[in-house]
Amino acid sequence: MTRKNLLRLIFLVALLASGGLEFLGERYPPEHSWDHPLFFALTGAIACVVLSVIAKGIVSPVLDRPEDFYETDATEYAEVKAKFAAEGEN
């Protein structure tokens, strides 16, 4: 088994184990939405997709600009590069 596959296996086991925590401890009838089993696993997965879609799908197309959009920033990274070559960053 390659190292990468081993890491994948460990990750999957941990994921299943975190779901398995649902079966430990006492259970009460749910009062809020977050009392349902696996609520947080689903929230994590859905929230990840939702945020990515909002950021990359909506915000990015509207608000993305080239890095030299502002006049004072136009040469910023060239200057940082020159500074690193000459004296380094402290």
Partner 1 sequence: MFGLLPPAFIYLAAALLLPLLPKGIRPWAFLVPPVLVLLQLSGLQHGDTLTWGFATFELTLLRVDALSMVFGWIFALVTLVAGIYALHNRNTGEQVSALLYSGSALGAVYAGDLFTLVFFWEIMAFASAYLVWARGTAAASAAAWRYLFVHIFGGSLLMAGVFLQVGETGSLAFDAFEGGAAAWLILLGFGVNAAMVPFHAWIADAYPRGTVTGSVFLSAFTTKTAVYTLARGFAGWDFLIWAGLIMALYGVTYAILSNDIRRVLAYHIVSQVGFMVAGIGIGTELALNGATSHAYTHILYKGLLFMATGAVLHATGRSRMTDLGGLYSRMPWVFWAYMVAALSISSAPFFSGFISKPMTISAAEYASTEVAVILLHLASVGTFLSVGLKLPFFTWFSKAPAVPIEVRPLPWNMYAAMGIGVFLNILLGVWPAPLYAILPYEVTFDPYALKNLKKGFQLLLATALVFFLIAQRLKPKAKIQLDTDWFYRAPKAFAWKTTVEPVAAFFAWGERASWGAAAWAVRWGRDPVGTLGRVMGRPSSVGRLAPGETASTTYRASMTLMMVVLLAGVLFLLAAVALGRIG
Tell me the two tokens of residue 19.
């779901």
Residues of this chain that bind partner 1 (CB under 8 A): 11, 14-15, 17-19, 21-22, 24-25, 32-34, 38, 40-45, 47-52, 54-56, 59-60, 63-67, 69-73, 75-77, 79-81, 83-85, 88-90
Beta carbon nearer to partner 1, 6 or 21: 21
Kindly report the CA angle at 43 between 41 and 45, in degrees rounded to 5?
Answer: 70
Least distance to partner 1, CB of residue 1, Å: 18
Under 8 Å between Cβ of 68 and 74: yes
Q: How far is the CB of 89 from partner 1 (least distance, A)?
A: 5
Q: Which of 67, 22, 60 is nearest to 40 (CA)?
A: 22
